[in-house]
Amino acid sequence: MPILKAPPKQSKSASLQIRIEEDVRHKLDKYAQFIDSSPSYVVSEALKLLFKKDAEYKLWLNHHTHNQNNEGGKPTDTVKQA
């Protein structure tokens, strides 16, 4: 059973140009074929999964989001855990 599911609908998208290893590209294409989807959908969903699962990233993001919301870019004193 695939970890990623085929897309239910089209959503807003943005263009991104990246370079990846040939072997990774081959596997990406095969996985997209496996779930009857596009390589861009696989990349997008894989990144969403990564962002959801990485607790340390969530802490970092929370801290940096708060920093941007402060006047003058002063760091916040607390970081909430997700």
**pLDDT tens per residue across all 82 residues of the chain:** 888 877 776 678 889 999 999 999 999 999 999 999 999 999 999 999 999 999 999 999 999 987 776 644 444 444 444 4
- The whole-model pTM stands at 0.69
Distance between CA atoms of residues 32 and 42, nearest Å: 6
- The Cα 1–Cα 80 span in angstroms is 35
Axis crossing angle, helix 22-34 with helix 39-53, rounded to the nearest 10: 100
Q: What is the CA radius of gyration of the chain?
A: 17
**Structural domain boundaries in the chain:** 22-73
Q: How far apart are CA 71 and CA 56, in angstroms?
A: 25
